[in-house]
Chains A and B, each alone.
Chain A
């Protein structure tokens, strides 16, 4: 369905003109019926019309501060006012108190009911809350008061109890209806809003004038005619909502009272006395809110719907007219609406896509039944902030195209919806591909002739064509060096292009910056020797960083080559690597003349080279440092320099240190692979990755030792055949180092038999013979990781299988439990496992559990022992164990708690 249809559904909330006329007619009829019924019912008389006081007190309580002090204060004021009025009217104190009491009760009950139903402070301009409010304040509370007041009225008059209660209820209910909603609804803001707009004020003034005139002329006539003011009140209500309704009621009432008191007319037919007149007036007024307030409530609702519809209309217009294809989705991921651009993009009509899953047109999320957010893998909050995904779109004809999809949340009248803005990026892709193709082609086209030129010059310079005359040799040398420079320039331009277009992908792994430095120094050794410069490398602690080793080497090699080129012959370039608090710093210091002041600000710019005697002669491209800095920043690091006058230049490369859990990210246990054949290592790594294990590959024994010492590998998989040391010697070295003493080692080798023969005494967890299959590797690694877990091992010896089972399940969370039901099987267990905690029963089929103590001491001197037995132990024996629990006195819960406590203190078994 289209947005159009969606919007029309929301319009259903609106009243059509016909509906509006019908409801107005109905309301007017109800109003008239109630008015006539009330006004012709003239058999009442004698009820004192002190109606506003209760209602005013209730309004004061509802709008005043919360809390009982204010409420009691208002009630007290009400009581005083009522007693004063009664006394003034000539009653005695007892009578006054008897009249005041039911009125106090009424207000109190109203407040209680409103509090209980949580209607205090509710918005009575909405129909639901309004009717609930009136039911409490204007129906139930006056009923309670009427029942209480009836005996007094019966005593003072000739009415029956029913009549007295009825009269009392009608008057109080009506007064509550008239005053309270107005008092609650009217706020300073609403009044201000009413008068802020000139046209509204004019309309209001006209309406009230009309009401005034109507009352003026009508009051002296038949009282039923007061009903004719009702449509005016309805109009005021239609125009101003609840505020208009309440204002009209109050205005009409006050005018009627004033005119009547001025002797200008009667609201009752015939001479019925002041009290009856006032009562009739009250009835007349009460009918007004009965009709107008519901209208007001409906209108307020309508107002909100209109506003929502206007917002939706704007959103719909934006949606429909947007140049980008837009799709709104419901929470299950099916399509609610699409705009014209989307119809065009996908080749489907809106109807065809209605309620289909979004996967029909976009590879946004897996097809399925799950909640769309989950299928999308995005949180609601992430979505609210907006996100962009690159996905594949599918047209009706089956053609696929690359698309950028912006996802966000849009509030529609039917609730928040996920909105997808789809942009076809085929053209952009084509341009990107063309650019890549162009760069690639140009580099090829340039390199092809360069291959011949540099090749020929290289052969000449290398003497392949025989010795050259001295001058020719020099010229060929210049040409050769510059052809080399041209090659470097092309390479650098390609690098810069890749960096700037964001195409440079880093192949990240955990690498030791010290190792990178060492390899770079090796690579630069030739250049340094040619220039007569000495490179010294200082590095101590491993400095693990997350980075692309090739690219990091490129950076370090660039720094080194610069340092060498600017060093005087015989100078020294010092490379140092220091892991610091959170960063690894590599510094390259030279003994050159330093960086000229004027050049410092430009040194990292493209094609920046110091003038004069500087780099040009040294064959740089002027791109090296720009590339180095880009690569560094891509690694989340920084590159800068220091050049104190006369002390050479020092370049610092800082990268975030990867240490401990902070850097072995989320992917759980990490494995270290030591394999000198890079391909085999990579294959192994991929196999492990396939099984969900992260791993890093190192190629030499030295690197293995350094990486293992970082402490964040769960195990080492190593080949016995290594370039720099024998595998068996490496394992021995690992075992001798405190940091790696317990690191599990799996030997992966082509010749396991030989290794087992030579390294059989070494603690090796597993031997994998090459070639091995994925399942064998997985089981070996899983076994290690389980073994590595630091859950304590509990040996439980008891001849009661139930006890064993229940204890084992109680301890399952915190420990691994092995069980034995006789001494000999416990001894068998001890022969190859070392429990950290032991629970012993004494009476066993083949002896006493205590007989196991010597075996335990032999196997593992310090494991705490708990005796859990039906028998008591004598003091001597009890001293030989850590705790004694008697089965009849200690529940299993007590036992498991004790073992838990011992475990909590663990690490080092105590006691």
Chain B
């Protein structure tokens, strides 16, 4: 399995930790966490080059879609795959997130034992 560097952005520290432990179950994944959209953008500008970004939708100040729009402006990140994570699991919203350019949506609460597999599935589905 290819090594995968994941950047996880979520304002909830507990969820960051659960997600970190979940992804840790897959030894080929490495993880960087960010507590806000701004922090994530800072990391990317500083040269962090994740293979996929897990982006929480509902965050104070800069939300997920906002972060996505900003990071697309960054050189080298025009194509970086983004997977939204959301607790608002209404189907109309899901399709809206896809329309924004995400390769997938993972609905919270997620199954921690298969989070890594979900990420890989979303990437595979996008042909990435």
Contact = CB atoms under 8 A, between A and B. Distances in A.
B70 to A, nearest CB: 22
B112 A444 contact: no
Interface stretch (B17-25, B44-52, B61-69, B73-81): B17-25
Nearest to B127: A677
Q: What interface size band does chain A fall in?
A: 20 to 34
Contacts of B117: none
Interface stretch (A233-241, A448-456, A817-825): A448-456
Contact of B112 (A440, A449, A462, A491): A462
B112 A459 contact: yes
Contact of A459 (B14, B21, B90): B21
Given A444-B58, A455-B112, A491 B21 contact: no
A494 B89 CA distance: 10
B12 interface: yes
A720 B91 CA distance: 30
Contacts of B111: 458
B113 A451 contact: no
A444 B86 CA distance: 8
Interface in A431-453: 440, 443-444, 447-453
Given A454-B109, A464-B112, A448 B87 contact: yes
B115 to A, nearest CB: 8
A451 B25 contact: no
Contact of B108 (A451, A456, A464, A483): A451
Interface string A491-504: 10010000000000
A270 to B, nearest CB: 106
Given A462-B113, A464-B25, A455 B87 contact: no
A487 interface: yes
- Pick the most buried of A450, A459, A494: most chain B CB atoms within 10 A of its CB: A459
Contact of B113 (A458, A487, A491, A550): A458
Given A458-B112, A464-B25, A451 B18 contact: yes
A48 to B, nearest CB: 98
Contacts, number: 67
Contact of A440 (B15, B21, B90): B90
Contacts of B88: 440, 443-444
Contacts of A450: 108-109
Interface in B1-31: 12, 14-15, 17-19, 21-22, 24-25
Given A443-B88, A456-B18, A491-B89, A451 B109 contact: yes
Interface string A690-715: 00000000000000000000000000
Contacts of B17: 452
A451 B111 CA distance: 9
A204 B40 CA distance: 101
A803 to B, nearest CB: 61
Contacts of A440: 88, 90
B18 A459 contact: yes
Nearest to A455: B18
Contacts of B15: 448, 451-452, 455
A450 B107 CA distance: 12
A451 B58 contact: no
Interface in A456-481: 456, 458-459, 462, 464-465
A465 B15 CA distance: 16
Interface residues of B, number: 22
Contacts of A454: 109, 112
A491 B108 CA distance: 11
Contacts of B12: 448, 451-452
Nearest to A445: B87
Contacts of B90: 440, 494
B106 to A, nearest CB: 10
A447 B87 contact: yes
A452 B22 CA distance: 11
Nearest to B115: A455
A491 B88 CA distance: 10
Contacts of A453: 109
A770 to B, nearest CB: 14
Nearest to B19: A455
Contact of B110 (A448, A451, A465): A451
A448 B58 CA distance: 10
Contacts of A448: 12, 15, 87, 108
A443 B113 contact: no
Interface in A685-742: none
B87 A487 contact: no
Interface in A773-825: none
A459 B22 contact: yes
Contacts of B58: 444
A382 B74 CA distance: 58
Nearest to B58: A444
Contacts of B110: 451, 455
A483 B110 CA distance: 12
Contacts of A458: 111-113
A504 to B, nearest CB: 10
B89 A452 contact: no
A580 B21 CA distance: 53
A605 B19 CA distance: 38
- Pick the most buried of B17, B87, B109, B112: most chain A CB atoms within 10 A of its CB: B109
Contacts of B24: 464
Given A444-B58, A458-B111, A451 B87 contact: yes
Contacts of B25: 462, 464
Nearest to B108: A451
Contacts of B22: 455, 459, 464
Contacts of B91: 550
A452 B87 contact: no
A440 B113 CA distance: 26
Nearest to B90: A440
A228 B39 CA distance: 111
Contacts of A452: 12, 14-15, 17-18
A395 to B, nearest CB: 30
Interface in B69-128: 87-91, 108-113
Nearest to A444: B87
Given A440-B90, A455-B15, A491-B89, A447 B109 contact: yes
A440 B91 CA distance: 12
Nearest to A487: B109
A330 to B, nearest CB: 41
A503 to B, nearest CB: 10
Nearest to A679: B98
- Pick the most buried of B12, B91, B113: most chain A CB atoms within 10 A of its CB: B113
A459 B15 CA distance: 12
Given A452-B12, A464-B25, A447 B108 contact: yes
A491 B15 CA distance: 20
Contacts of A456: 14, 18, 112
A173 B7 CA distance: 112
B119 to A, nearest CB: 15
B85 to A, nearest CB: 9
A464 B113 CA distance: 8
A450 B108 CA distance: 8
A462 B111 CA distance: 10
Nearest to A491: B89
A655 B19 CA distance: 43
- Pick the most buried of A455, A459, A483: most chain B CB atoms within 10 A of its CB: A455
Nearest to A459: B112
Contacts of A455: 15, 18-19, 22, 109-110, 112
Top 3 closest pairs, chain A to chain B, by CB: A455-B18, A447-B87, A452-B14
25 contacts: A443-B87, A443-B89, A444-B88, A447-B89, A448-B12, A448-B15, A448-B108, A449-B14, A450-B109, A451-B15, A451-B18, A451-B108, A452-B12, A452-B14, A452-B17, A453-B109, A455-B109, A455-B110, A456-B14, A456-B112, A458-B111, A459-B21, A459-B113, A464-B21, A464-B112
Given A451-B109, A458-B111, A464-B112, 12 more contacts: A443-B87, A443-B89, A444-B58, A447-B87, A448-B15, A450-B109, A452-B14, A453-B109, A455-B18, A455-B110, A464-B24, A494-B90
